């Protein structure tokens, strides 16, 4: 894929032709296993970030992890996602907005863009957030989708610095597109999946939906090859899911995965 942007002393400048090509890849793979990798590439190249975490806030006051990406610190990013989905989200200053949008049930609005406001965070919540290595800034995209609300968090590190006002405007311009892509993908992907026990759900909370399903298939006795067939993905894709999942969970083998899930 062509370079999607350049970074200079004046900030982050998208390469629009390459950005459109990245969008086309996302559209092509809506509902498939390839989409999440395409979305990650689009976000990294089109927005300029080091980490992204996508959650789905659903009925019953539940927060589910859909996507976690940080190539430098996958385990730490996974731990942050797990803590957040495990209950920390209720301390998020944006939590009341998530609840309100879920109650409204709107699935057509473009959503909200919410820059990080540290002054509104509780000390406990702030300590968790800023424990992340090199974190400089975060911006959140809140996307209503009827029975759920998608919550996309984009992070920058100290090396890249905080989002500038014009970059936030650029992100606002992308909001309708990102909202449409995310809604459409997860609708098309469907809800067919293996159920997880309470212990498994807790242990696997840091993972994306696909990584979680791959691990659940392995826990049910599948080989990597048969799990790939069940998920309708290439063996190489399943290997990538397993590698990412093990890195986020801090395990090195299926035995380690089993041990982690059995002790909760």
Reply yes or no on whether the pLDDT at 2 is more than 50. Answer: no
Residue 1 has pLDDT above 50, yes or no: no
Q: Is the pLDDT of residue 188 over 60?
A: yes
With tokens 């400089």, the residue in question is 136
Q: What is the pLDDT of residues 32-80, one digit of tens each?
A: 878 988 999 999 888 889 899 999 999 889 898 889 998 888 888 888 8
| pLDDT one-digit tens code per residue, 88-106 | 999 999 999 999 999 988 8
DSSP summary character for residue 110: -
Please give the pLDDT value at position 141: 96
Does the structure show a pLDDT above 70 at 192?
Answer: no
Provide mean pLDDT across the span 133-159: 90
The mean per-residue pLDDT over the stretch 112-132 comes to 81
CA 176 to each of CA 68, 192, 204: distance values in angstroms, whole numbers, following the listed order:
21, 27, 31
Segment 14-38 mean pLDDT: 86
Per-residue pLDDT at 110: 74
Of 4, 50, 49, 48, whose CA–CA distance to 26 is shortest? 4
- Total-model pTM: 0.80
């Amino acid at each position: 894929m062509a370079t999607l942007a350049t970074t200079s002393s004046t900030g982050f400048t998208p390469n629009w032709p390459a950005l459109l090509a990245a969008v086309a890849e996302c559209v092509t793979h809506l509902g498939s296993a390839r989409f999440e990798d395409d979305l990650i590439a689009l976000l990294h190249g089109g927005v300029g970030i080091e980490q992204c975490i996508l959650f789905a806030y659903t009925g019953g006051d539940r927060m589910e992890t859909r996507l976690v990406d940080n190539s430098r610190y996958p385990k730490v990013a996974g731990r942050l996602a797990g803590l957040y989905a495990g209950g920390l989200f209720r301390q998020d200053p944006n939590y009341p907005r998530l609840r309100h949008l879920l109650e409204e049930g709107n699935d057509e609005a473009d959503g909200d863009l919410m820059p990080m406001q540290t002054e509104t965070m509780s000390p406990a919540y702030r300590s968790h957030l800023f424990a992340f290595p090199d974190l400089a800034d975060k911006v959140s995209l809140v996307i209503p989708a009827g029975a759920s609300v998608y919550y996309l968090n984009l992070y920058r590190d100290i090396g890249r610095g905080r989002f500038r006002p014009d970059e936030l405007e650029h992100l606002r311009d992308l909001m309708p597109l990102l909202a449409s892509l995310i809604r459409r993908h997860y609708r098309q992907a469907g809800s067919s999946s293996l159920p997880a026990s309470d212990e498994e759900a807790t242990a696997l909370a840091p993972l994306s939906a696909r990584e979680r399903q791959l691990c659940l298939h392995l826990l049910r006795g599948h080989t990597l090859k048969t799990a790939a067939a069940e998920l309708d993905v290439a063996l190489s894709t399943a290997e990538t899911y397993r590698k990412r999942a093990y890195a986020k969970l801090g395990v090195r083998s299926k035995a380690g995965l089993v041990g982690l899930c059995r002790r909760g």
